[in-house]
Amino acid sequence: MENDTLTAIPGIKVGHAQNETAITGCTVILCEKGAIAGVDQRGGAPGTRETDLLRPMHLVEKVHAIMLAGGSAFGLDAASGAMRFLEEKGVGVNIGVARVPIVPAAILLDLAIGDPSIRPDAKMGYAACQAASEKAVDQGNFGAGMGATVGKMLGHDQAMKSGIGSACIDLGNGLMVGALIAVNAFGDVVDPHTNQIIAGARTLKKGPVQVGKEDYFADTLFTMRTFAGKSILQIAGSQNTVIGVIATNAKLNKEEANKVAQMAHNGLARTIRPAHTMFDGDTIFCLATGQKNADVNLIGAYAVEAVCQAIVNAVKYAEPMGGLPSAKTRN
Q: 84: domain CATH number?
A: 3.60.70.12
Q: Is residue 211 part of a domain?
A: yes
Q: What pLDDT sits at residue 215?
A: 72
Q: Is residue 207 part of a domain?
A: yes
Q: What pLDDT sits at residue 136?
A: 96
CA-based nearest residue to 120, from 31, 49, 44: 49
Neighbours of 221 (CB within 10 A): 16
Q: Is residue 231 part of a domain?
A: yes
Distance CA(81)–CA(28), nearest Å, equals 10
Distance CA(98)–CA(241), nearest Å, equals 35
Q: What pLDDT sits at residue 206?
A: 46
Q: What pLDDT sits at residue 235?
A: 54
Output b/e per residue, 280-293; b: 16+ Cβ within 10 A. bbbbbbbbbbbbbe
**Mean pLDDT per 10-residue run, the chain (331 residues)?**
92 97 97 94 86 86 95 95 96 88 95 92 98 97 96 87 97 96 95 94 62 71 77 65 96 96 96 87 94 96 98 97 89 55
Q: Which residues pair with 63 in a beta bridge?
A: 35
Distance CA(145)–CA(153), nearest Å, equals 19
Domain that holds residue 206: 6-330
Q: What pLDDT sits at residue 212?
A: 45
Q: Is residue 119 part of a domain?
A: yes
Q: Is residue 1 part of a domain?
A: no
Q: Where are the alpha helices (DSSP H) in 75-160?
A: 78-88, 122-131
Q: What pLDDT sits at residue 205?
A: 64
Count how many domains the chain has. 1
Distance CA(119)–CA(110), nearest Å, equals 9
